[in-house]
Structure 1
């Protein structure tokens, strides 16, 4: 039995038995119980200048193959979102190419696809409200022309210039009036992006929710739903219960998604999650269980993954992308643990070790032997040898016997 060497925060070493991969099966029919999108990451060329501030050089074969992996499990892909390092290494030119390429690939297999629309191609720090509207519309039209669905992301430019709820209502009114098909709104919390404090006109969640719901009510025919990423399950449920029947709640809560997707007597959330990029087989198997009406199986499959997701998204939460790419590498979806902008260095080795431990415990290692070998290679590169773990375990055992 293969043993995983695990590294604790104090430098201590221990081992865990490598679990077998779960026997999940890909769906034979479209998933129906829930709509679920995995917010996919990008894979850079391993030999590129993947250092802070450099333009993104994408390995398109690996990046697009990962999207086909997600589609093969019956999930949709949410692309060019913050999981793809939007505003953290993925520049405007790479974002446009990602949208075009992903849209073409989605069309070739009939895969579900929505992509992020923002104002971030404009380099100026400060924009007027009219300029924010124009920037949003430029990306909106590009995305619709590519054939992708739209997620209207929270804009840093709008957060800087807006003076209150009325400014948000005005901007969204003008942008939504230009949309050719219903869009998904996105409320991104400060854990993911501190610059978005006070979005929708207030730092008080209840007041901001009122503005969001007013926008949705005013433009119900142009809004498919809203993705809430506040990491606040109660706030999400409160908004969900006030949505018009035409609008879906897409949970972006990577801490509490199991209960939110299951729902309650009033309703449920669908999913648009960065966590599902790392958990596509588990997420698919869980929703397949809901399709069969087997809630117990749903919980059994998905509940163990929530501690893993909480570790990946641990504070500072905006570095969660490192964990998503790390799991992609462990599972064989990319040849190197590299990220654009050097973000592969954003998490410590003990943090990654805990991800390995929880992925192993929750059935998130798709190819366990490969994952174990790759993890050990990273430990070895950093001077951690399995013999040290064995010695440490023996020493602890001896201490216990002697005591």
Structure 2
């Protein structure tokens, strides 16, 4: 059987799907050499009568089942992050419920979980007040720590709007770290993921911003488990990684260069907190298990071929990568539909989605290739592509 897939020019070309998946058995034993968290997506309720402006309607059973899938492969879950459409369809009320439910599920199955702490409950008019920003962070930090989950202090659009310079970042983050019960992960999300975060840490100059970021960490190294760097710049991440205080981990958030950053060099390596490990979960876990044996070449041989898919999903405008992630979850059989909270299933073109399917299929990511083929054919037919 073949599918007719549209390319970037709109022309149709035949593609013959593979018939065998890449075997990757679930192994719940934690990974040894690297700490790996997959930022997980949320599954929309396709039968809810909502508009793009409505609060998110979430299919909780399927959303939690996907997290159990990740834990079954030994991965940790990074919850209520941008992959879960935080700030792009999922508001704070929905994120809070997601955190509560996922943290309870993690306790039940013994899975590792870390949850995003932000300021997205603020009304637009309060975004210019640093005190209001700090209070919003405090509210969310208390909720996350109250569930027993690790906190990830996410970059805040409101703080980016309110801060007058580096000193405001030092004050807000210093306050939060002093009151955190346990070490947190600090998240630096670049503007390619969220344009509202331009100039974070008080400067559009990334060297100056890095100095402020490191100053925050140096003042409270006992309260920082690690840092997640999402700048899509491997050289900058490596340079920053080498400047971290002893004991503070670097979690790569670089969905363009993750194999080399996780493999590391003679000076060190990055752990991982990645949105691309949502669709790559079983394969990524298998690769890290190979790395656990000391076989860096085997790790790269398995993971390097996935980079083309990741770069495709995360191509500009990068913030819409979630659409491809959810498409692949549907094609892989993790959910019964291709709809997203906020209606973001429409955020990518059919040629983009078709190429995502082709790349994922070539990697053997679909447990049931025939199901993926059938579902992709149904999507193509909705756009008028005859089989």
Q: Give the TM-score range, shorter chain.
A: over 0.9
* Residue aligning to 1:218: 219
* Contact 1:26/1:285 (<8 A) preserved: no
Which aligned runs of 4 or more in structure 1 are off by greater than 4 angstroms?
Answer: none
Paired position in structure 2 for 1:59 = 59
Q: For residues 375-386 of structure 1, what are the structure 2 equivalents within 5 Å?
A: 375-386=376-387
- Is contact 2:28–2:72 with CA below 8 Å preserved after alignment? no
Where does structure 2 lack aligned partners over 5 or more consecutive residues? none
Does the CA contact (< 8 Å) of 2:28 and 2:73 recur in 1? no
Residue 13 of structure 2 aligns to a residue in which SS? strand
1:116-164 Cα shifts (integer Å, max 9, x gaps): 0001111234242222111101100011001111100001111011111
Residue 50 to residue 329, structure 1, CA distance change in 2 (3 Å):
farther
* Secondary structure of residue in 2 paired with 1:46: coil
Contact 1:258 1:299 in 2 (8 A): yes
Partner of 2:314: 313
Structure 2 Cα separation of the partners of residues 72 and 356 of structure 1: 24
Q: How many angstroms apart in 1 are the aligned matches of 2:70 and 2:322?
A: 17
The Cα shift of 1:18 comes to 1.9
Kindly provide the CA deviation profile for residues 320-366 of structure 1, in whole angstroms up to 9, marking residues without a partner as x.
01011000000001111000000000000000011011111222223
Q: Secondary structure at the match of 1:304?
A: helix
Secondary structure in 1 aligned to 2:277? helix
**Deviations 1:210-269, CA, capped at 9 Å, x for gaps:** 111111010001000100001111111110000112111001110111111111110111
Residue equivalent to 1:35: 35
Q: Calculate the TM-score normalised by the size of structure 2.
A: 0.97
Matched residue SS, 1:185: strand
Matches within 5 A, 1:16-165: 16-19=15-18, 20-27=20-27, 29-125=29-125, 126-165=127-166
Whether the 8 Å contact between 1:21 and 1:365 is mirrored in structure 2 is yes
Give 1:50 shift. 4.9
Alpha-carbon deviation of 1:317?
0.3
Q: Residues of 1 paired with 2:112 and 2:297: CA distance? A: 27
Q: 1:284 to 1:4 in 2, by over 3 A?
A: farther
Between the aligned partners of 1:50 and 1:360, the Cα distance in structure 2 is 32
CA contact (8 A) 1:50 1:339 kept: no
Deviations 1:180-203 (A, max 9, x none): 000000000000011111100111
Offset at residue 297 of structure 1 (A): 1.8
- Conserved in 1, the CA contact under 8 Å of 2:232 and 2:257? yes
After alignment, is 270-279 or 121-130 more displaced? 121-130
Could you tell me how far apart the structure 2 residues matched to 1:310 and 1:51 are? 31
Distance (whole Å) between structure 1 residues aligned to residue 30 and residue 361 of structure 2: 28
Equivalent-residue separation in structure 2 for 1:241 and 1:307 (angstroms) = 27
- 2:305 alignment counterpart: 304
1:271 match: 272
Deviations 1:76-106 (A, max 9, x none): 0001001101000101211110000000000
| Residue number in structure 2 paired with 1:396 | none
Is the CA contact 2:41–2:325 (under 8 Å) kept in the aligned structure 1?
yes
Task: Please state if 1:5 is matched with 2:1.
Answer: no
User: Which residue of the partner structure matches residue 375 of structure 2?
Assistant: 374
Alignment of 1:178-327 (within 5 A): 178-327=179-328
- Structure 2 distance, partners of 1:151, 1:374, is 36
Give the distance between the partners of 2:332 and 2:371, measured in 1 at CA.
Answer: 7
Q: Distance in 1 between the 2:285 and 2:310 partners?
A: 16
- Deviating more after overlay: 268-277 vs 366-375: 366-375
Contact 1:330/1:374 (<8 A) preserved: yes
User: Kindly tell me: are residues 373 and 50 of structure 1, through their superposed partners in 2, closer, same or farther at Cα, counting changes over 3 Å?
Assistant: farther
SS at match of 1:186: strand
Question: Contact (CA 8 Å) 2:22, 2:363: kept in 1 or not?
Answer: no
Asked if the contact 2:122–2:133 (Cα under 8 Å) also holds between the matched residues in 1, the reply is: no
State the 1:52 CA deviation: 1.6
Q: Separation in 2 of the partners of 1:366 and 1:258? A: 23
The residue that corresponds to 1:347 in the other structure is: 348
The 3-state SS of whatever aligns with 1:187 is: strand
Query: Is the CA contact (8 Å cut-off) linking 1:305 and 1:364 kept in structure 2?
Result: no
**Alpha-carbon offset, residue 25 of structure 1:** 2.4
Q: How many residues align?
A: 385
Q: Equivalents in 1 of 2:198, 2:91: separation in Å? A: 23
Query: What value does the CA root-mean-square deviation take over the aligned residues?
Result: 1.1
Deviation of 1:48 after TM superposition, in Å, equals: 1.6
